[in-house]
Amino acid sequence: MWTLWQSRDPARLTDIGGPRTIEGFGPPADAVEQTTLDTPVWMGFMAEDVAVREVLDTLNQEGEGVLCYKYEDSPSVVGREF
C-alpha cells in the first residue's frame, strides 16, 4: 500500500507526521514528540540509525537514502484506479 500511495504523488516522498509513540508505549500524552523528517529510525544492529527522510523514498531517486527496491504490482491492483 505504501508504494502505491507514494507513487501517485511525488510530494508524498516527504510526507510524514504524527506522534512518536505506539498506544500504550512511550511517553505520557503531554510529552509526545511529533515525527519529522529528522526523526531517527532504529536500524537494529545492521547499521547506524538514519533519519526518516533516508527511508521514505524506497527507490532512492535522489541518491541520499539507504533503500533501493521496487515492488511489482500485485495482480489484485492491476488495472484499478486509486
pLDDT in tens, 10-27: 888 888 888 877 666 666
Domain assignment of residue 24, yes or no: no
Question: Looking at the predicted structure, is the pLDDT value of residue 56 above 80?
Answer: yes
Give domain status of residue 67, yes or no. Answer: yes
So what's the pLDDT on residue 31?
72
Asked whether residue 56 is domain-assigned, the answer is yes
> Which pLDDT belongs to residue 42?
87
**Is residue 61 assigned to a domain?**
yes
Our count of domains for the chain comes to 1
> Whole-structure pTM over 0.85, yes or no?
no
* Structural domain for 67, as ranges: 1-13+34-76
- Cα–Cα distance for residue pair 15/6, rounded to 1 Å: 9
Please report whether residue 2 resides in a domain.
yes
41 forms beta bridges with 50
Mean pLDDT of the chain: 79
